[in-house]
Amino acid sequence: MRSLVFLCLLSACAHSNPGSSRELIQNYRQSGNYAQAFETAKAGVCEHPSDILWVGEYAQAWSDLNHPGSIDALVATCPLSNISKVYLRALAHASLKEFSIAKTQFKSLLSGLEKASLSEQDKAEVYYRAGLVSVLAQDFPAALRSLAIASVSMPLRVDIRLAQAQAELSLKHYSKAAQSLFSILVLNPNTSSLVKARRLLQKGWALAEGPLPSDIQVVLQNYLSSLERGQPNSDALRQLISLSEEHSHSRVFTVAGMVALRLGAQKNAHQLLVKASELNLFSPDPLRILGTSYAASNQWVKAFEPLKEAAKRNPFDPAVLSILAKVALHLNENDVAAEQYKLLVILEPQRSLHLLHLARAQRKLEKYAIARKVIKAGIELELTIPLVLEWAVIEAEHYQACTDPGVKSDAKAGVQEAVSQLLELSPKHPAAKALLASLE
């Protein structure tokens, strides 16, 4: 059976730009052809004996095959550089869960002359792997020390920040863990990284919340089931409020708040859900529930602050960001709306609608250059009438607002180009004539 621990330790380096041979290894691995992946990795590491990324692929392939042969035989396969030998031994011992030996190997590698000969990229990689070994060994302070150095060397690596968050959560440093996770949003994370970040964030909420007695968990689940069936009554709310007096726990107050909402007791619901949010300063759930309830009944002012705080606690939730942006637009909080759409573009980059809304919010803020750049990105993604029409409106408003002759000339040309494209998509579009008339 393959080593799941080592699979976590040596997952493919998403931060690098692998050549075709390393891509081939990934293809073999994904198809379950681990023997061929191992042979390909062996050939690659012998061809590139000083490349520690190839060493990592080789060690991973060895782990996938459940460690065929001894570590000495593995290292002796081909004439590796001294650094590669030490690094391979460290990874191999980690795969065998011999963490103390692996940590000694990493310490040797990262001391003195060996460390000095590493490039910044290789140094970051080695410190990162050393940090992961410390995580697996449950030496979280040591993990954070290694990962901090790796992050300084390669500040744009998402995987390092995710590992830092994992170590910080294990030490119950919830605020620091959350900040490490939030920081990846400016680094263009891929879907896999976003999934990992969400999973770690949810783990943090649960840890911060603290345990509940099992019998109380059963009671709460019964109330939630009655909510799903649409059967709660005023007795249920009284019982939950009584339960909250005995168990001052975020989850108890949250369920009580949900029942109050279903019964239309909005004032009670507000108090209960705010209290739940105060008992767990990391979970967005109580404020998300409260804010979305207000938004559903068009109570924009009441919805704004709960949703804003819920989005702050969990900026990885597209549904909350979308609702907050809608509420913000109703309240003319265009800067808040723009921030949510920026995040939505990161979370769901293939949705041109987010780019349309972001461009529109930037236009309302009179940030025309940014709005133009955003809308053109949307048009490149998907050529639609709403996107092209927004482009024309951006240029027309910019034309009316600016005084610089050169900028005004560019905006005029932009209107004409956008309207021309609009008419190609919709030959009789009613807005075309008005847009061109705005230039007169």
Q: Which of 110, 111, 116, 114 is nearest to 129 (CA)?
A: 110
pLDDT tens digits, one per residue of 25-54: 989 988 999 999 999 999 999 999 999 999
pLDDT tens digits, one per residue of 185-222: 999 999 999 999 999 999 999 999 888 999 999 999 99
Amino acid in the structure at residue 423: L
What's the pLDDT score for residue 21?
A: 81
User: How far, in Å, CA of 301 to CA of 230, rounded?
Assistant: 28
Q: How far is CA 260 from the centre of its chain?
A: 33
Residues 69-75 have a mean pLDDT of 92
The answer to whether residue 15 scores a pLDDT higher than 50 is no
pLDDT tens digits, one per residue of 158-187: 999 999 999 999 999 999 999 999 999 999
What's the pLDDT score for residue 3?
A: 42
Residues 219-245 have a mean pLDDT of 87
H-type alpha helices, 3-81: 4-9, 20-30, 34-47, 52-64, 71-75
Lowest mean pLDDT among 10-14, 303-307, 433-437: 10-14
Lowest mean pLDDT among 152-156, 273-277, 301-305: 152-156
Q: What does each C-alpha distance from 125 to 14, 20, 122, 238, 249 come to in angstroms?
A: 12, 21, 5, 56, 42
Judge whether 126 and 109 are in contact, CB under 8 Å. Answer: yes
Judge whether 217 and 233 are in contact, CB under 8 Å. Answer: no
The answer to whether residue 22 scores a pLDDT higher than 90 is no
Q: Which of 257, 249, 271 is nearest to 227 (CA)?
A: 257
What's the pLDDT score for residue 114?
A: 65
What's the pLDDT score for residue 346?
A: 96
Write down the residue that tokens 């390393």 correspond to.
Answer: 22
What's the pLDDT score for residue 301?
A: 98
What's the pLDDT score for residue 376?
A: 97
Q: How many residues does this entry show for the chain?
A: 440
pLDDT tens digits, one per residue of 99-139: 999 999 999 888 865 667 888 889 899 999 999 999 999 99
Q: b/e for 110-140, b at 16 or more Cβ within 10 A? A: beeeeeeebeeebbbbbbbbbbbbbbbbebb
Token pair in block for residue 37: 């992946």
What's the pLDDT score for residue 14?
A: 39
DSSP state of 183: G
Residues 214-235 have a mean pLDDT of 86
Lowest mean pLDDT among 18-32, 215-229, 400-414: 18-32
pLDDT tens digits, one per residue of 374-390: 999 999 999 999 999 99
User: How far, in Å, CA of 194 to CA of 192, rounded?
Assistant: 5
User: How far, in Å, CA of 356 to CA of 386, rounded?
Assistant: 8
Q: What does each C-alpha distance from 38 to 13, 47, 265 come to in angstroms?
A: 17, 14, 63
Q: What is the mean pLDDT of the chain?
A: 91
Rounded CA Rg of the chain: 28
Confidence category of residue 228, pLDDT binned at 50, 70, 90: confident
